[in-house]
Structure 1
């Protein structure tokens, strides 16, 4: 019975200790803010609504410009990869074509030599 009691107490102590450590780490991670998040919170503290709306529109424009640039870079990267894959596929087709042509030529040579031997 004492082993079960010590196991249960150890389990609960570990759960409490893990919860405290996890809470501290979670708090530290959550308090680290991006500069963009800080900028987003600043217009909420201003009393002038028109300034807040203008700032929000500027942020949206910057965000959309950044997203457009990221999309363009990703698109170009994918196009380059597709071009590389197509070039590789063409090379493999040529190599296989050469292998198939050589094997067909060997088959024809063997069959013609066998037919000559049979005569």
Structure 2
């Protein structure tokens, strides 16, 4: 039983000591890395970030052009509808004016014919 009683405290103490030693060894290894490798890793990271920004900018441009083209298409359709409405209105006005003007020349023409006879 004595072995079981000390197991929990020994396990916690061993985990703590192992964590401390592991941290110290990791810090020593990290500090001994060559500065050239660090600079190269930093440059690669910077280049990958720049590439990611370029890709994101291209995607934004593509989305903007797609939304602009759909906006342009909507505006074009709207303009075509308005032009059709204007043409219909112009035709109606021509018919109304044609009836008014069409009646006057006939009566004037009829009068001129009656006077000549």
TM over 0.5: yes
Match of 1:61 among 25, 40, 47: 40
CA distance in 2 between counterparts of 1:72 and 1:118 reads 68
The ranges of structure 1 where at least 4 consecutive aligned residues each deviate by more than 6 angstroms after the TM superposition are none
**Cα distance, 1:70 vs structure 2:** 0.9
SS in 2 for 1:70: helix
> Any stretches of 5+ residues in structure 2 without a counterpart?
1-26, 99-117
1:72 is the counterpart of 2:78: no
**Cα distance, 1:118 vs structure 2:** 1.5
Bigger RCO of structures 1 and 2 (CA < 8 A, at least 6 apart):
1
CA distance in 2 between counterparts of 1:74 and 1:92 reads 26
CA distance in 2 between counterparts of 1:80 and 1:104 reads 36
CA distance in 2 between counterparts of 1:68 and 1:78 reads 15
Instruction: Report the structure number with the largest CA radius of gyration.
Output: 2
**Cα distance, 1:57 vs structure 2:** 0.8
Residues 10-25 of structure 1 mapped to structure 2, 5 A cutoff: none
- Per the normalisation by structure 2, the TM-score is 0.55
| Per-residue Cα deviation, 1:76-114 (whole angstroms, up to 9, x for no partner) | 111111100000000000000000011011101101111
Which residue of 1 is the match for residue 65 of structure 2? 86
Alpha-carbon RMSD: 2.0
> Any stretches of 5+ residues in structure 1 without a counterpart?
1-37, 44-53
CA distance in 1 between counterparts of 2:89 and 2:56 reads 49
Q: How many residues align?
A: 71
- Per the normalisation by structure 1, the TM-score is 0.54
CA distance in 1 between counterparts of 2:90 and 2:79 reads 16
